Amino acid sequence: MATIVGAVTTSHVPAIGAAIARGLEDDPYWQPFFAGYPPVREWLRERRPDVAVVVYNDHGLNFFLDKMPTFAVGAAPQYPNADEGWGIPTLLPVPGDEDLSWHLVESLVEAEFDIVTCQEMLVDHAFTIPLALLWPGDRAREPWPIRAVPICVNTVLFPLPSVRRCYKLGEALGRAIAAWESDARVLLVGTGGLSHQLDGRRAGFINKAFDLLFMDKLVSDPQWITQYGILDLVELTGTQGVELLNWVIARAALPGAVRKVHAHYHIPISNTAAGLLALAADS
């Protein structure tokens, strides 16, 4: 059976992609952000995941409002990145894992999650930037050292799935991965957040106290977040802060107790409170 090694959750701001492309990791603005990642990379080198299940939200690259799935699962041999319209470099396609994809599709539908299945899927910065942070390199030229399966969550068009529903999806995902007949080592990745709001007169809203509490609770009491409704989260974390749903799904997929490997929090990157959390599932 497959082994779940843990979960890494991280923000996915587009400007990070531009900073990586320009080699700004040691720039005074960027250094306090990038400084969070080396301990997580080291842990990944030790735990050697073969495939990452990446829970993220699309920002209008693969999905538009003509067809907006609540939950979509990629089942493609590879996942190309493409022009998103604002000049961050296009990276090489990320190789998929079709066996795992179809196992997840079958398992999730069996568990009564009526997901959308995608045999072709473009992936945007919310998918590629976290992978580029975890496996650094010139990904416009050098192949990715990891396979991946995208799980895309609607955080754009309301109604969004409830926090409770996302938590249950995560649990079903974890059970499915654990039952996959494979020797592969699987990492969960949840991307987006933490608190930020790009739109409206409340643009620039950040809630440090809530973010830090959320990160703590994600380690020790992950169900805590399910007490909130989606509009509570909009109020507490901003209109785009609701991307933390992706973190919830990734965390809920971990079976049993977890160990915190590393946590990092930095304000701001662009308009966003940038969070990073790595959890080992080695109970």
CA distance 35 to 9: 16
Nearer to another protein by C-beta: 160 or 176? 160
Nearer to another protein by C-beta: 101 or 240? 240
Amino acid at 133: L
Q: For residue 168, count other CB atoms closer than 10 A to its CB.
A: 18
172 belongs to the binding site for another protein (CB under 8 A):
no
268 belongs to the binding site for another protein (CB under 8 A):
yes
Q: Whose structure tokens read 């990715």?
A: 144
240 belongs to the binding site for another protein (CB under 8 A):
yes
Answer whether the bond into residue 108 is a cis peptide, omega within 30°: no
Which window, 141-149, 161-169, 181-189, 228-236, contacts another protein (CB under 8 A)? Answer: 228-236
Which window, 42-50, 102-110, 151-159, 172-180, contacts another protein (CB under 8 A)? Answer: 151-159
Measured in whole angstroms, the distance separating CA 86 from the mean position of its chain's CA atoms is: 21
Q: Helices 230-237 and 208-220, interaxial angle, to 10°?
A: 130
Q: Least distance to another protein from the beta carbon of 68, Å?
A: 9
15 belongs to the binding site for another protein (CB under 8 A):
yes
139 belongs to the binding site for another protein (CB under 8 A):
no
Instruction: Pick the binder of another protein from 3, 47, 78, 84 (CB under 8 A).
Output: 84
Q: Whose structure tokens read 């494979």?
A: 182
198 belongs to the binding site for another protein (CB under 8 A):
yes
CA distance 127 to 121: 11
CA distance 113 to 121: 20
**DSSP-based three-state secondary structure for 98:** helix
**Residue 125 bears catalytic tag:** yes
**Residue 266 bears catalytic tag:** no
**Total number of residues binding another protein (CB under 8 A)?**
40
Q: Which residues contact 143 (CB under 8 A, 6 or more apart)?
A: 92, 95
Q: Residue 279: phi, psi to the nearest 5?
A: -125, 130
Nearer to another protein by C-beta: 100 or 234? 234
Distance from first CA to last CA of the chain, Å, rounded? 16
Catalytic residue among 59, 196, 262, 266: 196
206 belongs to the binding site for another protein (CB under 8 A):
yes
Instruction: Pick the binder of another protein from 104, 245, 263, 273 (CB under 8 A).
Output: 273
Which window, 37-45, 79-87, 92-100, 183-191, contacts another protein (CB under 8 A)? Answer: 79-87
Radius of gyration of the chain (CA): 17
35 belongs to the binding site for another protein (CB under 8 A):
no
201 belongs to the binding site for another protein (CB under 8 A):
yes
Instruction: Pick the binder of another protein from 9, 81, 128, 239 (CB under 8 A).
Output: 239
Q: Least distance to another protein from the beta carbon of 158, Å?
A: 4
Please report, as residue ranges, which positions from 152 to 171 form the binding site for another protein (by CB under 8 A): 156-159
Q: Exposure string (b/e) for 261-270, b if CB count within 10 Å is 16 or more?
A: bbbbbbbebe
HSE at residue 20, side-chain half, CA atoms within 13 A, is 26
- Interface ranges with another protein (CB under 8 A): 15, 59-61, 64-66, 82-87, 156-159, 197-209, 231, 234-235, 239-240, 267-268, 270-271, 273
Q: Catalytic residues, which ones?
A: 125, 196
